[in-house]
Amino acid sequence: MSKRIVVIGAGPGGYVAAIRAAQMGASVTVIEDTEVGGTCLNRGCIPTKSLIASVEALAGVRAAEDYGIEVRGEIVPNVPRIYERAGKTVALLAKGIRALFKSRNISLIEGKGSLVDRSTVSVMQRDGQTSRFEADAIIIATGSNPSRPSLFPFDGKKVLTSDDALRLTTLPKSMIIVGAGVIGCEWACIFRELGVEVTMVEMMPRALATEDEEISELLERELKKKKIRLLTGVRIERMEVVADLVTASLGEKGEVSAETALISVGRTFNTDGLNLDAVGVKRGGRGEIAVNSRMETSVAGIYAVGDVTGGILLAHVASKEGIVAAENIMGHNATMDYSVVPSGIFTLPEIGSVGLREFEAKERGILVKVGRFPFRALGRAMAAGEYTGMVKVIAHGVTDRILGVHIMGPHAADLIHEAVVAMNKGMTAAELGHTIHAHPTFAEAFMEAAEDVEGNCIHLPKRQQA
């Protein structure tokens, strides 16, 4: 007998779980109250990467003379068309998910779902009708939304969330971005390239405070080159909108003003209306749904995946969690392993990372060796005119096993996957360094950095003895 599975939420955790369950013979119903694809497709990863592709093209045209190409006339970004292109990309991919559902006979119900008990989901559909679905198992994948602290007077026009930023029809002349984390830094690069004067305010001592310190330093240097003002170690005490300006009070540090403000200070978990407490689904201290390594909640037959569980808030992690949940429902024994999870940050230039940062290794008392290779010393990078940044390899000081890799530079979010495979297979830096890489490629920088762990890099000067 086929198992009946109801998935609440069609983001990268929910829709992937639904498809995997259907592949294994389940009868699957997906409940979604907005649009398939969730935050990643509709309000995050995909539309912002489409905008970044446009501003990268803009930057390329502006730098055309450096490549011996003469561009005549004024170079002007058409902002409405840039946003229109992003919207078309999102719509096409959403259509693709719906087609995948149809090919797998997955039912999509458009409405807001909530738990009735451990085997029943109630849905308030968009047409106002209420329906119920019985299930052998339920997967909650309702995701997260931008945090909206009461300190900030959000109005969607002058004081924005990252969702609001995707609905702009005209660009401001100036903007305060609160939070120099991943989302804040990506938006800063987008808006600055489009001509917006950007001031970033970050309470931590550096931008991208969770990344490796050397990578953060490189990024801060690039932000400065782009004339993005970065204020770190600063806390906003008050924000108000007066006339046409948004003003943020920084206490003893004074104040900053701009036409708009974008607030990027974290995410909140979408648990409202799910009826979790009544059904007995336990939550953690931040309101997230508590799960084990099998993605099971405290109630048998109910699973949760993705941002709503409060773990690593990345789309690809949610997708893997969805697969784990679906496989366990269908009788397999799958568990999540978070030890090797890559991440990409789509600033200009990109950042890719996986594994331990150097400061994390030191905090844990792990002896490490470090190799570095700058893109400036790489033939392909110089030929392409993309030579900002470096590859950094962190290896165990005794075993030489690769513990972490951090890249800032061209195609960093793609290049990082060689490190992912190497770490999954337990490779040492020496083994990676001995692996032949094609020349001339950007990937050679990874090989060179691995060789530099022991000071054997061919294309770097001999290290000076301490």
Residue 323, domain member (yes or no): yes
Q: State pLDDT tens for residues 119-168.
A: 999 999 988 899 999 999 999 999 999 999 999 999 999 999 999 999 99
For residue 307, count other CB atoms closer than 10 A to its CB: 30
Residues 456, 460, 463: CA angle, nearest 5 degrees: 65
356 and 437 in a common domain: yes
232 and 260 in a common domain: yes
Task: Give the pair of three-digit tokens for residue 327.
Answer: 């496989």
**What is the residue range of 287's domain?**
4-146+268-329
Model confidence, pTM: 0.96
Inform me whether the pLDDT recorded for 1 exceeds 60: no
Residue 368, domain member (yes or no): yes
Q: State pLDDT tens for residues 284-322.
A: 999 999 999 999 999 999 999 999 999 999 999 999 999
Inform me whether the pLDDT recorded for 466 exceeds 70: no
Residue 37, domain member (yes or no): yes
285 and 200 in a common domain: no
Residue where a domain terminates, one of 234, 265, 296: 265
Contact of 343 with 181, CB cutoff 8 Å: no
| DSSP line for 225-240 | HTT-EEEES----EEE
Residue 212, domain member (yes or no): yes
Report residue 81's pLDDT band, with 50, 70 and 90 as the boundaries. Answer: very high
Contact of 317 with 12, CB cutoff 8 Å: no
Peptide bond into 149 cis (omega under 30): no
295 and 179 in a common domain: no
pLDDT reported for residue 464: 76
Task: Give the pair of three-digit tokens for residue 369.
Answer: 């060796």
* Distance of alpha carbon 63 from alpha carbon 66, whole angstroms: 6
Residue 439, domain member (yes or no): yes
Task: Give the pair of three-digit tokens for residue 260.
Answer: 């708009």
Burial letters 170-191, b for 16+ CB under 10 A, else e: ebbebbbbbbbbbbbbbbbbbb
24 and 106 in a common domain: yes
* Among 168, 194, 162, 156, residue whose Cα is nearest residue 59: 194
Cα four-point dihedral sign 406, 191, 230, 177: negative
204 and 185 in a common domain: yes
The kind and range of the H/E element at 261 are strand 260-263
Identify the residue whose tokens are 């950094």: 392
| DSSP line for 72-94 | -S-----HHHHHHHHHHHHHHHH
Average pLDDT, the chain: 96
133 and 11 in a common domain: yes
Residue 461, domain member (yes or no): no
279 and 258 in a common domain: no
142 and 19 in a common domain: yes
For residue 153, count other CB atoms closer than 10 A to its CB: 14
Residue 78, domain member (yes or no): yes
Q: How many domains does the chain have?
A: 3
Tell me, what CATH number does 231's domain have?
3.50.50.60
Inform me whether the pLDDT recorded for 96 exceeds 70: yes
DSSP category for residue 340: S
Contact of 196 with 79, CB cutoff 8 Å: no
332 is catalytic: no
Q: State pLDDT tens for residues 266-280.
A: 999 999 999 999 999
260 and 289 in a common domain: no
Q: State pLDDT tens for residues 369-406.
A: 999 999 999 999 999 999 999 999 999 999 999 999 99
Q: State pLDDT tens for residues 320-369.
A: 999 999 999 999 999 999 999 999 999 999 999 999 999 999 999 999 99
142 and 15 in a common domain: yes
Contact of 198 with 228, CB cutoff 8 Å: yes
Q: State pLDDT tens for residues 400-441.
A: 999 999 999 999 999 999 999 999 999 999 999 999 999 999
Contact of 79 with 21, CB cutoff 8 Å: no
Q: Which of 332, 417, 434, 439 is catalytic?
A: 439
* Distance of alpha carbon 207 from alpha carbon 215, whole angstroms: 10
Cα separations (Å) of 63 from 79, 186, 198, 221, 348?
19, 21, 21, 19, 14
pLDDT reported for residue 243: 86
* Distance of alpha carbon 315 from alpha carbon 269, whole angstroms: 14
Coil, strand or helix at 139: strand
104 and 27 in a common domain: yes
Task: Give the pair of three-digit tokens for residue 414.
Answer: 């793609």
Helices (H) and strands (E) in the chain, counts: 14, 22
Residue where a domain terminates, one of 218, 247, 265: 265
Residue 335, domain member (yes or no): no
Tell me, what CATH number does 378's domain have?
3.30.390.30
